[in-house]
Structure 1
Amino acid sequence: MTIENHNRVELLRSDDFAQYLLHEPRQIKQILRALVDNRALITTYLPSGNQSFLTAMLALIDDEERLVFDASKEGAVNRRVAEAEELICATQVDGIKIQFPLDDIQEVTFEGRDAFLAARPDRLLRLQRREFYRLVAPITHALNCVIPLAQKDGPPRRLEVRVLDISGGGLAIAVPADEDVFSPGREFGDCRITLPDFGAITVRIKVRNLFRVTNRNGVEVLRAGCQFVDLPASANNLIQRYIFKVERDRSARERGM
């Protein structure tokens, strides 16, 4: 699994966004109806996280407690979908990021076409505030974080790690695979992040999840998803300005400016 693939499906598994999860059936059904009406393209990730396919919601049935979604054109993908215990679906509607899981999946024929039937999701993530989108750190401007690690004897050891993505709520970092001090719930204070063109900020982070992944170059690392703890308003402001600048520069390059 590559780090890039894992970023796309982390939201539902991260406590950073728990407050943006919808659980009320009426709200979830309303959003699913909009996806059906708009025939929104939905990226659906298979359990391994390193394979996905595009689909669309075709209908809500059984008092909107089950939904029908289009099958892939590839038979091998459909076989994996039929065997999956859970899929993660992600899409955007009017700039709003939507993500939800699907389970209880069955192969069906719907209006003469191959399709799948699944239970209505019991939770759905709906993110519309810009500051909570995670920005994947650009390769051209490395974003690093220096974490002081307490030692039994002597001053703290300073561990410099690469920031994979960042938002107003937290960040993900790549930790060497042999580091054993990182575990969910562990907090690290006085961490220093240098934001190119904006300077350094000092933050406290709390590890929320930890995954062992392999980079494209074959090097195995730990990917630690972290939450900011009591983030100062001044630091949050710099993070938002940094995200805005990176996105603006990226858009300018795409337009050829």
Structure 2
Amino acid sequence: MTTEHSTRVELLRSDDFAQYLLHDPKQIKQIVRTLVESRALITTYLPSGNQSFLTALLAVINNEEQVVFDASPDEAVNRRVAETEELICATQIEGIKIQFPLGGIQEVTYEGRDAFLAGRPERLLRLQRREFYRLITPVTHALTCIIPLLPGPDGEPRSIEARVLDISGGGLAVVVPPDDVEFTPGMEFDDCRITLPDFGPVAVRMRVRNLFRLTNRSGTEVLRAGCEFVDLPNSANNLIQRYIFKVERDRSARERGM
């Protein structure tokens, strides 16, 4: 099973979001300063698993080339943070979704409290419109997408069931089944069906945008297909947005209760 962290890493590298990915140091520093000043809560994902913890950026130092962030109250989590090469951080500013990696991590003490030092993010994903925000589908409530295929040699209708990795109002990403099924950029699939927990089935038409490989916890590679919706009806978009809002609301409630 692909981890939420692994998917977030690949989202930062995917061309699905190339136009929203910032590389300019001045822009990134400005956003980092805002996160420090607002003490925004940041969900930080550790590699190799679904483990995460809440933190905040405490300061920017060394000509704004390094950031200090708060340690977790869980010492086991802090040990893992100190040993990892890169963390994936997700937060928001005034409804704008922000995602960025942190590397070069060192344990430090800042103003008398346990903290970590990391290099300033060199890239930062800023999603300014809700419909472009991709929800990483919860492991506990996995989504699947039924994709119709061309009839086989016997003329019988065929379809495949693909696991959904993430979803937005603009599209979704699925794990391409290991069967001998062709998935290439530009291919379109009509009458695909996604069943959204608590909201029911949604029929969509989608086009394959890109393909690349993810590595799951067991070390096995799977093929990820990033797809965009084609002529998505407003009724379907509303259901998807309601589903995303509910899952995010439930996730935030769980994190506040940590």
Match of 1:235 among 232, 237, 244: 232
Aligned match of 1:130? 130
Aligned to 2:145: 144
Question: Retained in 1: the 8 A contact 2:3–2:49?
Answer: no
Q: Give the match's secondary structure for 2:121.
A: coil
Q: CA RMSD, aligned part only?
A: 3.7
TM-aligned CA deviation for residue 79 of structure 1: 2.0
Give the aligned residue type for 2:232: A
SS state of the match for residue 179, structure 2?
Answer: coil
Q: Give the whole-Å Cα distance in 2 for the aligned partners of 1:79 and 1:71.
A: 10
Cα distance in 1 between the residues matched to 2:148 and 2:244: 26
Residue 247 of structure 1, CA deviation: 5.4
Moved more, 94-103 or 159-168: 159-168
Does the C-alpha gap of structure 1 residues 205 and 192 become closer, same or farther in structure 2, counting only changes over 3 Å?
farther
The residue that corresponds to 1:56 in the other structure is 56
- In the alignment, the residues of structure 2 paired with residue 108 and residue 62 of structure 1 have an alpha-carbon distance, to the nearest angstrom, of 15
Q: Could you say which residue in structure 1 is the equivalent of 2:206?
A: 203
Deviation at 1:22, TM superposition (A): 1.0
Contact 1:168 1:236 in 2 (8 A): no
Shift of the 83–20 alpha-carbon distance from structure 1 to 2, 3 Å rule, reads: same
Q: Is the 8 A contact 2:166 2:172 kept in 1?
A: yes
Report the residue type matching 2:146 in the other structure.
C
Corresponding residue number in structure 2 for 1:97: 97
User: Where does residue 192 of structure 1 map in the other structure?
Assistant: 191
Shift in Å, 1:126: 1.0
TM-score (norm 2): 0.75
Contact in 2 for aligned 1:25/1:122 (Cα 8 Å): yes
Which residue number in structure 2 is paired with residue 24 of structure 1? Answer: 24
Instruction: State the partner residue of 1:159.
Output: 160
Moved more, 240-249 or 81-90: 240-249
Residue 34 of structure 1 is matched in structure 2 by 34
Quote the sequence identity (%): 54
1:151-199 Cα shifts (integer Å, max 9, x gaps) = 7x666853233445422432122444x335467x655323432367786
Q: Aligned in 2, Cα 1:26/1:142: closer, same or farther, shift over 3 Å?
A: closer
Alignment of 1:209-220 (within 5 A): 209-211=212-214, 213=216
| CA displacement at 1:104 relative to structure 2 | 1.3
CA drift at 1:92? 1.7
SS of corresponding position for 1:29: helix
Deviation at 1:149, TM superposition (A): 6.2
Cα distance in structure 2, aligned partners of 1:250 and 1:81: 26
Identify if the C-alpha distance between structure 1 residues 63 and 236 changes in structure 2 by more than 3 Å, giving closer, same or farther. farther
Partner Cα separation in structure 1 for residue 222 and residue 145 of structure 2: 15
Q: Which amino acid aligns with 1:76?
A: A
Shift of 1:80: 1.8
CA contact (8 A) 1:15 1:208 kept: no
- Secondary structure at 1:235's aligned position in 2? coil
Shift of 1:76: 2.3
Structure 2 gap segments, 5+ residues each: 251-258
Paired residues in the alignment total: 243
Q: Which residue in 2 is equivalent to 1:77?
A: 77
| Contact residue 88 and residue 99 of structure 1 kept, 8 A | yes
User: Alpha-carbon deviations, 1:31-67, whole Å to 9, x = none?
Assistant: 1111111111111111214222211111001111111
User: TM-score w.r.t. structure 1 length?
Assistant: 0.75
Whole-angstrom distance in 2 between the partners of 1:252 and 1:117: 30
Q: What's the offset of the Cα at 1:84?
A: 1.3
Q: What are structure 1's unaligned runs of at least 5 residues?
A: none
Question: Is residue 96–residue 128 contact of structure 1 (8 Å, CA) maintained in 2?
Answer: yes
